[in-house]
Amino acid sequence: MQQFGAHKFSMILCECYVFLSNRLCAWFLKRPIMINYRDIFLGVLALLTVSCAGLPDKQQGCLSKGGDWRGVCLVQREQCVIPYSDGGKECSDSSECEGRCLADLTTKCTESAECIEPKILQPGEEVRGICQRDNDPCGSFIVIKNGRAEPVLHRD
């Protein structure tokens, strides 16, 4: 349901953009140009038009692959997030996974609501990890390489 709401919002934005861009184009092309801003403006306009036109196909393709069309990272950039078939499997190196082999940084809670925070590993510490669950590129990760922890990565 949330996916279709985001899709509808994107389509409304694109429709507003097309309406306004047609009005701006007509005004902009009638103005005298000292520097070739008109070509820059038309180029940006063309790129925005192409990105609006392709949006529904991207979302449909994402859903057909079992993905989730959603905002990722701090800026909430729309992207298809697809789960990996081996996500959560134990590993000691990324060569054993579709994605990366990562330290498990999830907090574990019992039925009695007691929670255990994950251990933050030091670079070089020996450990087994789990295969990345999906292709979401953002968050904080500790990659496991040859059974040893790498330095923490933060991606936003």
The pLDDT value recorded for residue 50 is 54
Residue 29: what pLDDT?
52
**What are the residues facing 130 on neighbouring strands?**
90, 102
Per-block average pLDDT, block size 10, for the chain (156 residues)? 47 49 52 59 61 70 91 92 96 97 90 87 95 94 96 90
pLDDT given at position 56: 76
DSSP string of 117-150, one letter each residue: PPPPPPTT-B--EEE-SB----EEEEEEETTEEE
Please give the torsion angle defined by the CA atoms of residues 95, 140, 127 and 94, in that order, rounded to the nearest 10 degrees: 0
- Residue 57 pLDDT: 84
The pLDDT assigned to 91 comes to: 97
